[in-house]
Amino acid sequence: MQPFNKDKILSSGQLKRLSEHKYSCSSASFLDSLLQPWWEWLTQKLPLWLAPNLITVLGLLVNVATTLILVWYAPDAKTEPPRWACFLCALGLFIYQSLDAIDGKQARRTNTSTPLGELFDHGCDSISTVFVALSACIAVQLGYYPTWMFFQCFCAMTLFYCAHWQTYVSGSLRFGKVDVTEAQFTIMGIHMISAIFGPKIWTMEIYLPGLSTLNTIIAVSFSSGYVNMFNQFFKVFKEGGVGKNGSTVAGTSVLSPVIPFSFVVVPAFIIYWKSNEHVYENHPILYILAFGMVAAKVTNRLVVAHMSKSEMQYLDSALLGPAMLFLNQYFNFFIKEYIVLWLCFIWATVDLLWYSAKVCLEICDHLNIHLFKIPLMEAAQHQRNNAGSSDKNACTNGSYDDMRLRRDN
């Protein structure tokens, strides 16, 4: 699919299977069970006219905005950001996590649950993963260790992709005892420590000479990332798929999703390693954002393939961005790599947004639903149901609301 292509992205068969998709998820997370009362209370405070997808995108915008504040003050991930910016980032991540947790509850509360809600939620998560990883790197000034920063950010993208890879194989999204929620609270803790003591605390030596707080965090992150990735691989290879002969939900090989994502990670590493202008070391945040948008696009296509039970194509238009960087480097073109990196970022971002909007609109048209709003009549009906039919005044007001809504429409 190319950007600005007028042809439909999803076939009629994919739309039909997607409309029949049923969400399947299991979680053993420690923190999820503890946070349920907070999420339930928060959901009850939401107005019934507030659409679940609007809740999701508002949370994403808050998370992106607070991260961009950190980027503004530390564009190289080396400069010490203001403490208040770190606090704001912790708050933004908490808001995002809360809103991300209650969008599904709001959908069930208003009886507006659709497959589009699941797809929209995962799409926003794929973008958020890039910004959350970046914010943590900036808060600990990981730009002084570019290789570790590269590993941390791409490990986060890979883990998120692997989670949906095993979903594509098993048909169900599974969360472990220590998973996304725990990781998010860890990053909130990192931001709060930076906000209270200052980012320089991560360079302090602890216990043994030469062992800093930052080194400890990196070691723990590496270990937890390795364990989570191993668990995902175990689920994919050991348990097999739910399709025929142990295949994926689409009947394809369980290894097939490896190829599209390898077209993101492998070029990212080669371009970083071979760059004569040290484009990654000089512009790490822009580099990770550019490849992060490409990774988000590929992940979104995997989610669509899972929900529509269809084969995932290996090549994608978003890969033109990394291809520009690779060819410019390989043939020693006169264009500065920094300029090409900006072009890559712009292309990947526009391509991701165009693809996401096009898919959402096609699904909305097929299911005859709205993306960001609940019809007024439907919201009023749910409000009357929640209020109870025994209250005479409520019934009277409900009749008045019906007349007003019919008049307004």
> Computed over its alpha carbons, how large is the radius of gyration of the chain?
23
3-state secondary structure 60-114: HHHHHHHHHHHHHHCCCCCCCCCHHHHHHHHHHHHHHHHHHHHHHHHHHHCCCCC
> What's the CA dihedral at 379, 380, 381, 383 to 10 degrees?
90
Are the beta carbons of 271 and 325 closer than 8 angstroms?
yes
| Burial class of residue 139 (count of CB atoms within 10 Å of its CB; 0-12, 13-18, 19+) | buried
Three-state SS at 25: strand
Note whether 289 and 347 are within 8 A (CB): no
Q: Which amino acid is at 172?
A: S
- Burial bucket for residue 226 (CB in 10 Å: 0-12, 13-18, 19+): exposed
Distance separating alpha carbons of residues 264 and 318, to the nearest angstrom:
9
CA gap 57, 103 in Å, rounded: 10
**C-alpha dihedral sign at 357, 358, 359, 365:** positive
Residue 366 known to be catalytic: no
Q: List residues bridging with 205 in a β-sheet.
A: 212
Quote the DSSP letter at residue 254.
T
DSSP label at residue 200: G
Residue 50 is encoded by which pair of tokens? 């507030």
> What gap in Å lies between CA 38 and CA 43, rounded to an integer?
9
Neighbours of 55 (CB within 10 A): 24
Residue 244: both structure tokens together: 């025929």
Residue type, 242: V
Which tokens is 1 given? 């699919």
Among 21, 122, 164, 306, which one carries the catalytic annotation?
122
Written as one letter, the residue type at 104 is: G
Which sequence positions are flagged as catalytic?
Answer: 122
